[in-house]
Structure 1
Amino acid sequence: MRSGPALSAEARLPINRCNLPAVVLGGLTYQQYPSPLLIDGVAELHADLFRRLAAAAPGTAAEVFRDYLTVRFQLEWLEEMGYTGHASNRAKANYIRMIRGWSFDSDSREGAVLKGWVESRFGLMPRYHGEPLRDPSGEGYRRYQEMRSQGLYGTNALESQFDLVYSFCQRELALRHQGAQHVTLYRGINRVGEHEVLAKGKGGRQTILLNNLSSFTCSRDRACEFGDYIMAVDIPLTKIFFHCGLLPGVLQGEDEFLVIGGVVDVSLSTI
């Protein structure tokens, strides 16, 4: 086991809502030796969803999942949840719209909501949202918190919807990658300095701190379109919140993966 820089106290919360503390799940050792991440209460509160998924016919899991969330959160019957007038416009900000909003701009209000969910559930604080976030009492972090609050206001249990998206993603990844713990993903960047470099090794190896939620792709060729350097990372499957193939039609193209952050070893190369 290779030791390395730990996740600093400035990048994590002392508490979270899953089975491992942020200092563990955000560290380099976790990248090398991951274990399941379980969000508090999901299995107990939504046991019916997982029973339905277990009984679903092959190829229908995504449909079963969508139907469950639509009914559970009354996504197509907003008046049943007490929404009237202009309030229903915010209630339409469901998990699909949030993920699509992230895909267009990860520094948007939708991006702030998703980064806030990671912060709440896993205890990993965002390191960038339109600008570096290094000081929780600073102006940049305040703006991020305002965007997060605006994105959540008047919505229908958005963070609980994300809990189920993550849990469903983990179930599907475990079925598709039986026995595997990692998948190699790529990210195109223009400047290495855009990321927090914690240590440098030989041959383009570096240890960096990822933002608490970042976009990657499974296609190296696709990553080449987004920067002059290619970052290759062995990402634990447990750190994948969503990917383009999980729910057909939510994300179009780009082979995009939304990855939960922490300290990771990466390999940097030029195009």
Structure 2
Amino acid sequence: MTNATVCRVDDNAIAAPAVEVGPRLPKGSYLPINRCNLPAMILGGLTFQRHPAPLLLDGVAELHHRLFRSLDLLAEPGERAQRFMDYMTVYFRLEALEDVGLMPGRRKLRGRADYLRMVRGWAFDPNSQEGAVLKAWVESRFGLLARYHGGLLDDRIRDDTYMQFLEACSRGLYNTNALEAQLDLLYAYAQYEQRRQQPTAVHLSLYRGFNRFSDDQVLAKPDRRRWVVLLNNLSSFSVRRERAEEFGDHLLRVQVPLAKVFFYNRMLPGMLKGEDEYVVVGGVYEVERLC
């Protein structure tokens, strides 16, 4: 894969509308380049939520085309999930890390830092080291900057919270085996599996509990129940209202584009406990405030 790619619109992708209706993605919340087929200012905007398009990470489908061709032949989701996990184990040598340069005696430091460890760490605490790695991956691949990690990331030059975020990212990625490439393929598989199981679906209706938004997160209030908000670049949602209510005094319902689902609990056997959490790429969203 290339180290960095200037954003471009893929000829095979569905082009998102060029004119943004409503509040735009604020300056300072996205990068001018990313590693997918739509720039951050489009995929992170309100128009994208209303009119989603496929999001393709650079080179992933081409590099792993044999995997996806083999998945096409399997009818059962469980079989596809097992094939995907077996492929990850073999391709990234997750059970034979000496083949990719692991020094004897360092397995505890390196061998456990794989894609499953990252998503389990997120489930335990989104502000953990694993959560920092995932948010940094979203910055790199989609160009949407993290806005919160153990505190607001306001000043990216002098802010101690931001420096702690960078340190956590560095520790989480140091001496790992192509961890970001593993996350690329995890996202691509999540998108593939959703298309297989829901071929006509475009959005998911998801819920999120919250206590309060910072002043710069609420971009507009068209009416008492409809808000336009700027979400962190990666956030957790639930398919169950009663589950989401456990995480805050207030509740939102959001129509989330399937293209922005990074992973979800029941995607892989044994990945996470429970079956109701979806981890979603952020940006500007119109939300319905239920309480």
Q: TM range, normalised to the smaller chain?
A: over 0.9
Tell me the residue number matched to 1:221: 242
Please tell me whether residue 93 in structure 1 is matched to residue 113 in structure 2. Answer: yes
User: Is this contact kept in 1: 2:266–2:274, CA < 8 A?
Assistant: no
Judged with a 3 Å threshold, the aligned counterparts in structure 2 of structure 1 residues 2 and 136 are, in CA distance, closer, same or farther, namely closer
Please tell me whether residue 107 in structure 1 is matched to residue 124 in structure 2. Answer: no
The TM-score, its normalising length taken from structure 1, stands at 0.96
Please tell me whether residue 67 in structure 1 is matched to residue 86 in structure 2. Answer: yes
Aligned partner of 1:80 among 99, 103, 106 = 99
| Deviation readout 1:9-61 (Å, 9 max, x if unpaired) | 20000000000000000000000000000000001111111111112242300
- Post-superposition offset of 1:3: 1.2
Tell me the residue number matched to 2:270: 249
Q: Structure 1 stretches of 5 or more lacking a match? A: none
Q: Structure 2 stretches of 5 or more lacking a match? A: 1-18
Please tell me whether residue 35 in structure 1 is matched to residue 53 in structure 2. Answer: yes
What's the % identity of the aligned pairs?
53
Tell me the residue number matched to 1:130: 150
- Tell me which stretches of 4 or more aligned residues in structure 1 moved more than 6 Å: none
1:1-271 matches, within 5 Å, as 3-59=21-77, 60-89=79-108, 90-137=110-157, 138-193=159-214, 196-253=217-274, 255-270=276-291
The TM-score, its normalising length taken from structure 2, stands at 0.89
**Could you tell me how far apart the structure 2 residues matched to 1:193 and 1:24 are?**
23
- Post-superposition offset of 1:176: 1.7
User: Is this contact kept in 2: 1:116–1:148, CA < 8 A?
Assistant: yes
User: RMSD value over aligned CA atoms?
Assistant: 1.5
Residue correspondences, number: 270
